[in-house]
Amino acid sequence: MGQVLNVALVGYGFVGRVFHAPLIATTPGLRLHTVVSRDAAKVHSDWPDARVVADPTHAFADGAIDLVVIAAPNAVHASLAIAALRAGRHVLVDKPFTTSLAEARGVLDVARSAGRLASVFQNRRWDTDFLALRALVESGTLGEMAELHSHFDRFRPQVPDRWRERAGPGAGLWFDLGPHLVDQALQLFGTPLSIQADLATQRADAVVDDWFHVVLRYPRLRVVLHAGALVAANTLRFAAHGTGGSYVKHGLDPQEDALRAGTRPGSPDWGLDRRPGELTTMGADGPVTQAIDGPRGDYRACYAAMRDAILGQGEAPVTPAQALAVMQVLDAGVASAASARSIALADTAG
């Protein structure tokens, strides 16, 4: 690898420590140079060579930094991104990009003025099961799509004490898991005609939404996005049905569990899913079902794309148009749930 880009990681909580730091450190051409954290000992126990600063403005002002990665709470994504861009740094923001479509536009306006890139860490574009589904859709194996059910369920009956569970901008399950499911749907099928969303608070001590059921309407296709926190039988990931057959997948991509366990990205089994999906098609004698192994997943591809875009060798992993499209759907979902009615996406694009 030629030029090495220095990265400043803002935030060393769960997302920064488990996801971003190891992915940055193992992506060729990137160096984890600085971590913004008030707990230097915690960072140095994992990354003894990284510089640690408590104030993000100190990292933004450092001319050695090429890329700032924001893994802070959602409510400060926009303000931190704008500060970093104005300091001349490229920016990659953990999902959701911001807490509203208006904020997202503001960040991208600053990026254009500064002549810098602003993109979003949509790592689940590189889930092995999503890659398998995408290949089946794009190859026409499933025929014309009729419906897709995309689930991200959990069983967490106790409400943890963390910012995502407290009232405020960008809190709740819709802004936590919704960005993953929305981005995947838009990657497959583009922006829908309308959205009908139901957001609920189901756990006794919850103060923000911890359940959502969202229907994206296309001319023929219906896409159902679903997540809940009280789902013990939570293995369903995808159920896709079309005129040519069905694809059903149980179990999540293994990369998150591997990162939680401290496995180094890029290890021999990295991104391999031992739980294949099933493709069912209609043969002359009835249904025929076969196992479908997804391609190897690798979240580092998001970082590699950002590296190449900074070096002028490709497009950012999430383009400005794609970032805005996801935020448009997230905003419309909130409006739909609040009004208990379907929201046309064309009405929210202005």
pLDDT tens column, 97-123: 999 999 999 999 999 999 999 999 999
Cα–Cα distance for residue pair 161/167, rounded to 1 Å = 12
Confidence band of 350 (pLDDT split at 50, 70, 90): low
Is the confidence at residue 348, as pLDDT, over 70? no
Q: Are 69 and 121 in contact (CB under 8 A)?
A: yes
- The full set of domain ranges for the chain reads 5-121, 125-300+329-348
Tell me the pLDDT band of 203, cut-offs 50, 70 and 90.
Answer: very high
What does pLDDT average to over the chain? 96
Task: Give 324: exposed, middle or buried? Use CB within 10 Å, 0-12, 13-18, 19+.
Answer: middle
SS3 75: helix
Question: In a 10 Å sphere around its CB, with 0-12 CB exposed, 13-18 middle and 19+ buried, how is residue 31 labelled?
Answer: middle
**What's the longest Cα–Cα distance across the chain?**
68
User: What number is the average pLDDT over the span 152-167?
Assistant: 92
Which pLDDT value is given to residue 195?
98
- Prior bond of 96 cis (ω within 30°): yes
CATH number of 125-300+329-348: 3.30.360.10
For 220-276, how does the pLDDT look when each residue is reduced to its tens digit (9 = 90+)?
Answer: 999 999 999 999 999 999 999 999 999 999 999 999 999 999 999 999 999 999 999
Contact indicator for 292, 276 with CB cutoff of 8 Å? yes
Classify domain 5-121 by CATH number: 3.40.50.720
- Of the CA atoms within 13 Å of residue 288, those in its CB half-sphere come to 6
Give residue 2's pLDDT: 66
Rg of the Cα trace of the chain?
20
Q: Would you say residue 153 has pLDDT above 70?
A: yes
- Listed in sequence order, the residues at least 6 apart from 218 whose beta carbon sits closer than 8 Å to its beta carbon are 189, 192, 193
Give the C-alpha separation, 98 to 77, whole Å.
6
Is 347 a residue whose pLDDT tops 70?
no
- Whole-prediction pTM: 0.96
Residue 349 has pLDDT above 80, yes or no: no
State whether the Cα torsion 148-218-294-256 is positive or negative. negative
Residues 20-77: tens digit of each pLDDT: 999 999 999 999 999 999 999 999 999 999 999 999 999 999 999 999 999 999 999 9
283 pLDDT tier (thresholds 50, 70, 90) = confident
The predicted structure's pLDDT at residue 169? 92
